[in-house]
Amino acid sequence: MPSIPLTSDEKTKVLSTLGLRSTDDLFSSIPPRIREKADIGFESDHGMSEHELRTFFARLASRNTLHQDHFVGGGIYDNTIPAIVGQLALRGEFLTCYTPYQPEISQGTLTAIFEFQTMISRLTAMPVANASMYDGATATAEAVTMALRLTEKRDILMSEALPPDYTKVTNTFLKGHARDPLFIKTTTEGTTDLEHLKQMLQTHDPAAIVIGYPNYFGVIEDLAMIRKLTNALLIVTVPDPSALGLFEAPGTLGADIVCGEAQQFGTPMTFGGPHVGFFATRKENLRQMPGRVAGETVDSRGNRAYTLTLSTREQHIRREKATSNICTNQGLIALRTVIYLSFLGKQGLVELSEINHSLFEYLETALERRNIAKRFTGQHYREGVFEVPDLPARFKRACAAGVIPGIMLGPKFGKGFANSLLIAVNPKHDKTAIDRLVGALA
């Protein structure tokens, strides 16, 4: 047995110490009618060797077709990951440690969490951030439930232009509160319709308004204008925080809660997880914030030290009155994020943002030249919806030519989007890759 070091001599000795004949006797308190049925036999009764596992999974991995290029985004983005990210994050001291409840022997993890909080705070221009959430979708849902607690109001107004997964997960969370969100329409610019919002505000006094920045269509919303329209809590969810290299931080524009997804900062797409959600807010909301936080303090010798703090918000102390049920979060992915952002650095983030933006502008011009136009007219960042005549057939053709050209929005947004393709660029692309995409689609 690969992971059981017990020798048969040791087993015999321990059993005799315990006065037992066999390990079966350890389970004698289980009622026989339960024990007798416990046959879990599955295909692989005796276990595979490492070699067999490699063969088995290599076959499965090869059944996933890795195309030469893909332009799929929508909240999960491909990126080039520095070699040191994976190697440092695989150090056993990070990989195989626990939640840092014992601060004296967890200073490494705690320091990294403090750095993560600092980076998220500076990126979003919000004063406080937590140690991570599961992903951008659950972070958004937690923001909404936090707004309900803070305001004790009923209604939640959500932009229609949020990533569909964010909307679905928030819906599931709201059902626990017996609420349904109300949706704000989208304009021809691809932004949240502020006229519709104004109308809704005449009849509703919402707890919060939820806006994507950039939104699912890759469009930058006018947060400052939205802020002027309402005193409701403004939740800004950022599925693509690389935008914050070029575009103004939500905290500067009046957001009350800024959350989102940091996967692209050092973590592969991995079919949707594990990724890492982030969550930042104003200081006055701190006591209602979900999730763990690390704080700086001193030790018994007067040296700087870190510890988890403000845990009276959390489930292990507050139980049913906790701000969330979250316990295990995405610690190791938060660590990857800190390593990536450290190496990318202040100028690097601006450059990353600029590369994405420039690639998209080039793509847009090239597609327009082939009569494939953007659906929306607003300010885009790295991603946008294009109207491709006869999309399903062209999509298939592009895939056959080695390019997954984006996400077909028909299945997600209905008939009006039958020819709408959401195309995202990333730093793995260059002029050649985009020319190839344009050729494949035109």
| Smallest distance from another protein to CB 146, Å | 12
Scan for tokens 């082939």, then name that residue: 370
C-beta of 204 vs 427, nearer to another protein: 427
Residue type, 437: L
Can you tell me the distance from the alpha carbon of 56 to that of 51, in angstroms, rounded to the nearest whole number?
Answer: 9
Quick one: three-class SS letters along 206-236?
CCEEEEECCCCCCECCCHHHHHHHCCCEEEE
Q: Are 424 and 406 in contact (CB under 8 A)?
A: yes
Q: The tokens of 242 are what?
A: 């690389």
Long-range contact pairs involving 182-188 (C-beta distance under 8 Å, separation at least 24): 182/155, 182/156, 182/157, 182/158, 182/206, 183/157, 183/158, 183/159, 184/157, 184/158, 184/159, 184/160, 184/209, 185/160, 186/159, 186/160, 186/161, 186/217, 187/378, 188/376, 188/377
Q: How far is the CB of 51 from another protein (least distance, A)?
A: 10
Q: How far is the CB of 152 from another protein (least distance, A)?
A: 15
Measured from the CB of residue 203, what is the shortest distance to another protein in angstroms? 26
Surface-to-core class of residue 360, CB atoms within 10 Å of its CB (0-12 exposed, 13-18 middle, 19+ buried): buried
Closer residue to another protein (CB): 95 or 229: 95
Q: Whose Cβ is closer to another protein: residue 53's or residue 229's?
A: 53
Give CA–CA dist 169/137, Å, rounded: 6
DSSP state of 249: P
The least distance separating another protein from the CB of residue 185, rounded to whole angstroms, comes to 21
Phi, psi of 420 (to 5 degrees): -90, 130
| 38 vs 203, beta carbon nearer another protein | 38
Nearer to another protein, 105 or 373 (CB): 105
Query: For another protein, which is the closer residue by CB, 200 or 378?
Result: 378
Smaller CB separation from another protein, 75 or 206: 75
| Minimum distance, C-beta of residue 284 to another protein, in the bound complex (Å) | 13
- Cβ atoms of 257 and 285 within 8 Å: the answer is yes
- The residue (of 305 and 418) whose beta carbon lies closer to another protein is 305
For the bound state, the minimum distance from the C-beta of residue 202 to another protein, rounded and expressed in Å, comes to 27
- Residue among 32 and 203 whose Cβ is closer to another protein: 32
Instruction: Say how far apart CA 414 and CA 23 lie, in whole Å.
Output: 59
In this complex, which beta carbon is closest to another protein, that of residue 64 or of residue 231?
Answer: 64
CB of 161 vs another protein, minimal distance in Å: 16
CA distance 412 to 197: 23
Q: What is the Cα–Cα distance from 437 to 61, expressed in whole angstroms?
A: 25
Question: From CA 361, how far away is CA 436, in angstroms rounded?
Answer: 16
What is the closest distance, in whole angstroms, from the C-beta atom of residue 394 to another protein in the complex?
14
Could you tell me the smallest distance in angstroms from the CB atom of residue 330 to another protein?
5
DSSP 139-155: HHHHHHHHHHHHH----
To another protein, the closest distance from the beta carbon of 371 in angstroms equals: 21
Nearer to another protein, 367 or 407 (CB): 407
Sheet holding 383-387, edge to edge: 373-374, 383-387, 420-424, 407-408
* Shortest distance in whole angstroms from residue 187 CB to another protein: 16
Q: Give yes or no for a contact between 256 and 281, defined as CB atoms under 8 angstroms apart.
A: yes
Which residue, 11 or 198, has its beta carbon nearer to another protein? 11
